[in-house]
Structure 1
């Protein structure tokens, strides 16, 4: 859901975008929410939000919000927070806006993860869910740097993605990913290492086998005070 280079998945899949649409293709957008529910993503979102420890008065940003499911769930969990979802895909953002109708202090805005249109230190929390594995190494580094920049000192990035200490024992999806190398930038300590190199203090909070995705891993990255 973030800007890509010409050799990225968006080009490989034949989409005329410089970002990755929901599930890789505009035509799949109407079924996106149904598919994510079938994958158990709402449960993972609840766990990520619990880890984030949102408070009333917090300013919260989701990078790569897609159709807004995590952003809206965060708002329902902590109504006193101001929550913003950012994504480059205008069609997904239009769906998110419709779903958030009637909620206050929630916005959806177009932007690329490595070119966030926000001031330094503007947010208490940054969230990211199942987006990082789509990015090449250069874009990952750019997104990490932007997340650090827009967080206040002591603020936290909470990131959920496929990967971590994934092995063949995690099932068919894991074995396929390991064989193709598609997730190489997400495996082992790759994400914590990147976030630490960016300037974060990063910790793996939890990791769990997922029947259809292989392994989900949850990270907490703190911007030093």
Structure 2
């Protein structure tokens, strides 16, 4: 698994060289409602790139960024040191350090694929816990295209093809460091070492079981790897079969 503390200072240079990364963040922000009173949590906030875009869209938004990496938190906290409406704190997707229903918007980009598949249900329950009923969850991550376990050849082939295609895309756009990181991540995904790819449909089912509904899945072109999943936490009294 990557050493995110060590990578914190180079993260933006690598990722912003990749047009798909910027396109993904923009597509996420487009789905955020333009209204007053938003209390947002950015889970796995990294260096604060998504937070900055959210503030551009809605300057009155109050945002909390949570990240397990001290290096990432340091960069993000320095970036928003003059913004009292932005708080950065330690935490992860399985232990979010806030009371129930603390937020009405939850966002996460390129973070939750680090949660092992057997812990996805616990993760989804934790997301639902801190989001108020009717709150919105917008999440972007890499996904594979076939079901299976890491010891099944069809799954291996699908993961390799998608991740190599993304690395080639990065190469073609001059995102050299991004390409190298993507190639280094392939064996980690195949061995299940801190990087885990599942199908978007599998994650959608887990989220549904945790109380989410109204799913929208958006592909980020041109490589079929990144997807955005947008959904809403079911309000009390709504039928569980939604």
TM-score, normalised by the number of residues in structure 1: 0.78
1:163–1:188 Cα contact (<8 Å) kept? yes
Distance in 2 between residues matched to 1:209 and 1:127, nearest whole Å = 20
Q: Identify the residue that residue 197 of structure 1 maps to in structure 2.
A: 209
Deviation at 1:143, TM superposition (A): 2.2
The structure-2 alpha-carbon separation of the partners of 1:181 and 1:204, relative to structure 1 and needing over 3 Å to count, comes to farther
- SS at structure 2 position matched to 1:101: coil
Q: Identify the residue that residue 118 of structure 1 maps to in structure 2.
A: 98
2:103–2:130 Cα contact (<8 Å) kept? yes
Deviation at 1:197, TM superposition (A): 1.7
Deviation at 1:158, TM superposition (A): 0.5
Larger mean Cα displacement after TM superposition, 156-165 or 23-32:
23-32
- SS at structure 1 position matched to 2:95: coil
Deviation at 1:63, TM superposition (A): 0.7
Q: Identify the residue that residue 225 of structure 2 maps to in structure 1.
A: 215
Deviation at 1:144, TM superposition (A): 1.4
Deviation at 1:25, TM superposition (A): 4.4
Larger mean Cα displacement after TM superposition, 86-95 or 100-109:
100-109
Distance in 2 between residues matched to 1:36 and 1:59, nearest whole Å = 27
Deviation at 1:157, TM superposition (A): 0.8
Deviation at 1:202, TM superposition (A): 4.9
Gaps of 5+ in 2: 147-157, 168-182, 236-242
| Higher-Rg member (1/2) | 2
- SS at structure 2 position matched to 1:186: coil
The structure-2 alpha-carbon separation of the partners of 1:186 and 1:82, relative to structure 1 and needing over 3 Å to count, comes to same
Number of equivalences? 202
Cα displacement string for residues 158-211 of structure 1 (whole angstroms, at most 9, x for unaligned residues): 111111547687573469869937676422511111111222115133113344
Whether 2:66 is the aligned partner of 1:74: answer no
Distance in 1 between residues matched to 2:107 and 2:12, nearest whole Å = 19
Equivalences for 1:7-156 in 2 at 5 Å? 9=1, 23-40=2-19, 41-156=21-136
Distance in 2 between residues matched to 1:203 and 1:164, nearest whole Å = 18
Distance in 2 between residues matched to 1:122 and 1:204, nearest whole Å = 24
Gaps of 5+ in 1: 1-8, 10-22
2:45–2:66 Cα contact (<8 Å) kept? yes
Deviation at 1:104, TM superposition (A): 3.4
Deviation at 1:110, TM superposition (A): 1.1
Higher relative contact order (CA 8 A, sep 6+): 2
Q: Identify the residue that residue 186 of structure 1 maps to in structure 2.
A: 198
